[in-house]
A and B are shown apart, each in its own frame.
Chain A
Amino acid sequence: MVPGRAKAAALPETCATATAAGPLQPVRAVKLVPLPLYWSHVVNETGNIVPDHFNEMFADGQVRPPYARLEDWVAAMPAELRSLKQTEAEALFRRIGITFAVYGEGGDPDRLIPFCMFPRVFSNSEWRRLERGIRQRARALNAFLVDVYGRGEILRAGLIPAALVHRNAAFEKAAVGFVPPRGVFSHVVGVDLVRTGPDEFFVLEDNCRTPSGVSYMLENREIMMRMFPALFRENRIEPVDHYPSALRRTLASVAPAKCDRDPTIVILTPGHFNSAYYEHSFLADLMGVELVEGQDLFVEGEYVWMRTTEGPKRVDVIYRRIDDAYLDPLCFRPDSMLGVPGLMDVYRSGGVTIASAPGAGVADDKAIYTFVPEMIRFYLGEEPILKNVPTWQCGKADDLKYVLERLPELVVKEVHGSGGYGMLVGPAATAEQVAAFRDRIVANPGNYIAQPTLALSTCPTFVEQGIAPRHVDLRPYCLVGERVELVPGGLTRVALKEGCLVVNSSQGGGVKDTWVLAE
């Protein structure tokens, strides 16, 4: 019997088949011990307490400097006040209308995403390094996209297998030979990061299409400022509320060459039944642009127009939140009711900019992910600042053999999966689940990649019993247009269940406000 497995099997069911990363050793249940409050510990087989995951607030028995002022804040908040504040926060969220529905699960479309009031904090120097790494990555990913839809130099150089790109389902034939304005395909790059130590950050995946969740970054901050104004006086926290105007500026900077005036920008949503509709309308409102559905736009002559009460109005930049396949029934899926007939023709003849550009998805594919460090060296001539998680391609015979031998230790993901579905967290899975997943991998190896389970850092989190460490990840949003910039902050997702490594909101995760301290 494998010791780690027996422990892991006792974890809640919901974790077992889900997602994410864990320690290099098998994950064990993290037990909260009474003495040092919100201190991360693991009780091992013999009942001894061993420190485990990196705790972002405490290290070596000390409060780490970025969190220094939060200790008093927590101490001065008795349970009753905290519960009062929590209720207040939830009321605010409901009032604003932030709700979240899980794709394909039905259920209550008005469900709230759980919000934890304990902030996640980065020092200024920690952030500057992350920022450089993220911007570097966003530039390389865009250079890659321009290249593979053009001359394909990186493929000719033999650094990435051509078949991996050209046979990729996300490689868009219709995007070949067209360079979008300023050579930008992905205008908002969401880089998912996890931390395993004071200076150890890993990129879990890149999101080059339409990374969601930025509304939570903005709302979490708004609500924290309303509820705890004193915290913002005591700590000097970099603001994030200029994100909508930065996004607007980014999109305006990639207007087509044909546009000779202040560009008209719109956000294209699949509609009000979509689970992310709130975010779409929220962004449109803060950016001061129209939120449109496909039916609100039409193609006539060389341009795309919007139906308004005063007649047709020309549209120059479309920030779309729908997939490539649904953009234009005359180019992609003919049964799409969400898109705009003829849109791709206008796009390719330079009449409108689509952000992200059709075809951008080939850069955030999980099989391509492995090669991002190569891209950084090839296009930028720089060494990668952020590390990739070592990844095995099950499509390769050697890798597959390795993965199948060590399945109970690894995290296995579908190449095109997202949202924490279709994944195996080996250390947290039962023997049956591992066996079932093995069959799926063997049946279609090319569809899977595997990674070691990382020891995700924890951040103090309000839970029923008080405060306890919970695993977190981070998604900052990098804007790419005339400039490459990101606001100091992002979305911190937290796994609310004890010991659980699943942070996806679709799997019961929550969110936190993310602070970057000013210098």
Chain B
Amino acid sequence: MILTVEHVTTYRYDLPVRGVVQSHRLTPSVFDGQRTLRWEISVSDGIHGGGFRDGAGDWVQTCSVLGPVDQIEVRVSGEVETQDLAGVLRGHRELVPPLAYLRDTIPTHPDIALTELGRQAVAGAQDPLDRAHRLSSAVAGAIAYTPGSTDAHTSAAEALALGQGVCQDHAHALIAAARSQGMPARYVSGYLHATEEDDLHEAAHAWAEIFVDGLGWVGFDPANRCCPDARYIRLGSGYDAQDAAPIRGTARGGGAEHLDVDVAVKAAQQ
């Protein structure tokens, strides 16, 4: 499948800001499931900094804006050929050991309820892959997809208690539950091509990966009750949403920041 992405992030500032620095994880991962045909990232008034592939295999690129400016636009435009690997991250080169992804973070901290959810989910599972699938189903069943019910700072434990959330909460909850059962898990950010007949329309998307012995990293998307397939584009990973964020940045200035994100992922004519 060939997917095109148009992704525009606009930061508006009430008062002009200076010294904007952003760290971008906005380039598609390199693995057997996707091949980048065209990819451009531009930042208004931006100066490109050092870029490198980090230990987790993500391309990280720094960008700075001198300012003063009252608006910054980050525009991503590209085309990626994808294929369905049933969620398996095959052919992805990375050095970070899976065990490092057992680390607790605040949003993915497993409280008693999450640990219990994980424990019940894996009971009776045949093998590690089965355990991962059961964990994903359990999280999908426990948290109803409800846009607007949570915010960027909601933790996995809070989302589970609420019984509602969005893809970020699903991913956090799955990571927490998996780690509580000793399975390394991580947060993945990317894009999703949602078709007309789908119920879900989250073009800027997030899901989780669980390390399965014998298979390696396998993606699970509890929000859509499936594993990533040809409709998904993978950008990068981290311990949690913040660590895996496509854009992390700061600016010096006194005013409030307003954020607009516009994403369109379309299937190209074949």
Chain A residue, CB-CB nearest to B249:
A330
Q: How far is the CA of A345 from the CA of B52 in the complex (A)?
A: 8
Given the known interface contacts A173-B56, A348-B54, the answer about A166 and B97 at a Cβ–Cβ threshold of 8 Å is: yes
Point out the residues of chain B lying under 8 angstroms from A342, CB to CB: 21-23, 49, 62, 64
Given the known interface contacts A300-B66, A330-B249, the answer about A167 and B49 at a Cβ–Cβ threshold of 8 Å is: no
Q: Do B99 and A346 touch (CB < 8 A)?
A: no
Q: Do A166 and B50 touch (CB < 8 A)?
A: no
Of residues 330 through 371 on chain A, the ones whose CB sits less than 8 Å from some CB of chain B are 330-331, 334, 341-342, 344-346, 348-351
Given the known interface contacts A301-B64, A342-B64, A345-B62, the answer about A166 and B100 at a Cβ–Cβ threshold of 8 Å is: yes
Q: How far is the CA of A173 from the CA of B56 in the complex (A)?
A: 8
Say what secondary structure dominates the interface of chain A. Answer: loop
A selection of 5 A-B contacts at a CB cut-off of 8 Å is A173-B100, A330-B249, A330-B250, A331-B23, A351-B50
Point out the residues of chain B lying under 8 angstroms from A467, CB to CB: none
Point out the residues of chain A lying under 8 angstroms from B256, CB to CB: none
Q: How far is the CA of A163 from the CA of B64 in the complex (A)?
A: 38
Of residues 60 through 85 on chain A, the ones whose CB sits less than 8 Å from some CB of chain B are none
Of residues 144 through 166 on chain A, the ones whose CB sits less than 8 Å from some CB of chain B are 149-150, 152, 162-163, 166
Q: Quick one: CB contact mask for B1-30 with A, threshold 8 Å, 1 for yes?
A: 000000000000000000101110000000
CB of B32, distance to nearest CB on chain A (Å): 21
- The answer, among A167, A341, A349, for a CB contact under 8 Å with B102, is A167
Given the known interface contacts A167-B100, A177-B55, the answer about A345 and B95 at a Cβ–Cβ threshold of 8 Å is: no
Q: Quick one: CB contact mask for B228-245 with A, threshold 8 Å, 1 for yes?
A: 000000000001001000
List the interface of chain B (C-beta within 8 A of A): 19, 21-23, 47-56, 60-62, 64, 66, 95-100, 102-103, 239, 242, 248-250
**Which of A162, A173, A300 counts the most chain B CB atoms within 10 A?**
A173
Q: Do A330 and B95 touch (CB < 8 A)?
A: no
CB of A13, distance to nearest CB on chain B (Å): 36
Q: Do A345 and B103 touch (CB < 8 A)?
A: no
- The answer, among A152, A169, A350, for a CB contact under 8 Å with B50, is A350
- The answer, among B50, B55, B61, B102, for a CB contact under 8 Å with A176, is B55
Point out the residues of chain A lying under 8 angstroms from B242, CB to CB: 334
Q: Does A302 contact B (CB under 8 A)?
A: yes
Chain A residue, CB-CB nearest to B102:
A167
**Which of B19, B49, B242 counts the most chain A CB atoms within 10 A?**
B49
Q: Do B96 and A173 touch (CB < 8 A)?
A: yes
Point out the residues of chain A lying under 8 angstroms from B102, CB to CB: 167
Given the known interface contacts A152-B97, A178-B55, A342-B23, the answer about A300 and B47 at a Cβ–Cβ threshold of 8 Å is: yes
Q: Do A345 and B23 touch (CB < 8 A)?
A: yes
Q: Does A299 contact B (CB under 8 A)?
A: yes
Point out the residues of chain A lying under 8 angstroms from B64, CB to CB: 299-301, 342
Point out the residues of chain B lying under 8 angstroms from A300, CB to CB: 19, 21, 47, 49, 64, 66
Chain A residue, CB-CB nearest to B21:
A342
Q: Do B49 and A341 touch (CB < 8 A)?
A: no
Point out the residues of chain A lying under 8 angstroms from B103, CB to CB: 167, 169
Q: Quick one: CB contact mask for A418-448 with B, threshold 8 Å, 1 for yes?
A: 0000000000000000000000000000000
Point out the residues of chain B lying under 8 angstroms from A341, CB to CB: 21, 249-250
Point out the residues of chain B lying under 8 angstroms from A178, CB to CB: 55
CB of A295, distance to nearest CB on chain B (Å): 9
CB of A431, distance to nearest CB on chain B (Å): 35
Q: Does A4 contact B (CB under 8 A)?
A: no
CB of A481, distance to nearest CB on chain B (Å): 23
Q: How far is the CA of A351 from the CA of B52 in the complex (A)?
A: 11
Q: Does A175 contact B (CB under 8 A)?
A: yes
Q: Do B97 and A162 touch (CB < 8 A)?
A: yes
Q: Do B99 and A302 touch (CB < 8 A)?
A: no
Of residues 97 through 116 on chain A, the ones whose CB sits less than 8 Å from some CB of chain B are none
- The answer, among A166, A173, A301, A350, for a CB contact under 8 Å with B47, is A301
Given the known interface contacts A173-B56, A345-B23, A349-B50, the answer about A299 and B96 at a Cβ–Cβ threshold of 8 Å is: no
